[in-house]
Structure formats: C-alpha cells, structure tokens
Amino acid sequence: MSEKRTPERGTSNATSSDFLRFELRHARQRAELTQEEQGRRMGYSSSLVAAVEAGTRRPPHGYLPKADEALGTGGLLARLAEQLQAAANLPPLWVQDWVVHEQAARMLRWFELALVPGLLQVEGYARAIFGVNPRVSAEQREARVARRLARQGVLTSDDPPYLWVVLDDNVLRRGVGGRKVMHDQVLHLANLATNAPRVKIQIVPPGIEEYPGLEGPLVIATSSHGDDVAFLDNRRKGEFTDHPDDLLAARNDWESIVGEALTPAQSIEHLLGAAETWT
C-alpha cells in the first residue's frame, strides 16, 4: 500500500505543562480543598499553589509528591509528571516512523543542501543543531544528541547499510558549532569517505547553479526486499512516501544531483581542503 505521511496535528495548543496544571487543579477540587487549605497541608502558601495552577510558577522540587499526599492521589501526579517529561524528550511520531525505515534499510541515498546528515554528525555538531531552538531545554537537547549518536550505531553494526551521501558545498562552509567543531566534522566526513567501505560521500562543488538539490533534502531508503521509501524533510515536518510517482521523481532528482557532484576521489580531496579552512 502506498503511503504519504505527515505529522498528526491536534486542534489544541495545550502543552504537557498545561495538562499537568489541569490535573493538579482537578485533584484539588475533587478533594474539596481550597488553595489555602492545600497549601497549609503541604507547607506552602496559597499564593504558590495558585501560581502553580495558573502556570506562572513551575512546581518547586518536591512539590508534586507533597501534592499527591495532600490530595490523596496515591503518587499519580508525580508519576504523571515523569511520563510527560519522558514524552517531551521523544522526537515527533513522524521522526520515529522514519527512523524505522532508516535503521532497516540496506541502502540509503541521502542528499543534504544545508546540514550534515544525522548519521554522520559528530557530537559537537549535533549539539549545536539541537541548541538552536530556544524552547528546547538543556536536558532535552542532551537527550536528542544521545539518540542521534545512538542511531549512528547502524553504520558500525556487523552488517551495515550502504550509505551514499551527496552534500552541497555550502554544508562544509557553514560554521555550525564553531571552528573546531566544523574542523572535526568535515575531517570526520573525509575519514569516513576514505576508510568506511560502505560509505560513499560526494560533494556538489561551488559554481554549480540551478540543480534539483536546491529544492531541499532528499533521502531514498531501500529495504532488503528492494522496496524504496523516499523521505522529504523541511523546517516544520517530514514526509515519507512509497507512491510510484513520488519515487520516480525522487530517483530522477537523485540521478541529476549525483550528475553535478565531484567523483568520490575528488570529493575526498575537497573535504580535506575544506577541513583545513577551519583550522
């Protein structure tokens, strides 16, 4: 069955914090307590209880276990907070769906216009990418970095996929994470292209004008049965498809992109030269 998937979008803008605040208020009302009475049982002021319910204050350390005791919820609120925190650190469902295809693929053809592919990112580069979003906490960022590095284990498994990557030269010139991170990152690409037998990296050099890669990233994952799934990424969401028309267009774009790239040997020299510019 052909599929074209995009992330599910709810009709509400409620966050996990909103949900927890609702449950706190509901538990208090069910216990038939005022905010002042709850605060007295917990050893907090009524103004703090009100601020937590209104979302103007984060629950201080130890607040939720005390709320569970005061409201007779049997630890429910503390467990709920833990589950919401774990869920907040998970990637979107569409990313999780794509990772299944990525990890099961026998061949990955991957083009990137702006960034190093996740499977080839060094730790500092990944940390810089995830640190761009001010809404991502330090804890969430580190969790995402750890997941990204764990995904790279597929390349060092006993039977790794064949990974064929084409990068626009702009990827090598954008100072993500600073000069040392970029030096390490570009040198890592050169080392993989030289020493990893199942990794091939080619570079679309500067001076190439219009070509299909300008439309954005493209990945084609081929399963052990020879079936392809194409992944199209953008700023807000990802889409993957196995519709025949979409796959034909993706394969044609891939061939055109490869046609503009340097040979593998030339690309290794180009990567080594680019790494030197970051020293």
> Mind listing the pLDDT tens digit for each residue in 214-238?
999 999 999 999 999 998 875 555 6
Q: What pLDDT does residue 5 have?
A: 41
Same domain (yes/no): 234, 106: yes
Q: Is residue 36 part of a domain?
A: yes
For the stretch 189-208, pLDDT in tens is 999 999 999 999 999 999 99
Choosing from 66, 88, 110, the residue where a domain stops is 88
Let me know if residue 240 belongs to a domain.
Answer: yes
- Decide: 116 and 177 in contact? Cβ < 8 Å: no
Among residues 43, 58, 88, which one ends one of the domains? 88
Whether residue 189 contacts residue 183, with contact meaning beta carbons closer than 8 Å, is answered with no
Residue 10 lies in a domain: no
**pLDDT one-digit tens code per residue, 80-134:** 877 666 666 666 666 777 788 898 999 999 999 999 999 999 999 999 999 988 8
CATH code where residue 68 lies:
1.10.260.40
pLDDT tens by residue, 39-95: 999 999 999 899 888 887 878 878 888 999 999 999 888 888 776 666 666 666 667
pTM, rounded to two decimals: 0.70
Rounded to an integer, what distance in angstroms lies between the CA atom of residue 185 and that of residue 19? Answer: 40
The total number of structural domains that make up the chain: 2
Quote the radius of gyration of the chain (alpha carbons, Å): 24
In a domain, 8, yes or no: no
Is 203 in a helix, a strand, or coil?
Answer: strand
- Describe the chain by its helix, strand, coil percentages, rounded to 5: 55, 15, 35
Q: Are residues 270 and 138 in the same domain?
A: yes
Residue-number span of the structural domain to which 28 is assigned: 16-88
Residue 32 lies in a domain: yes
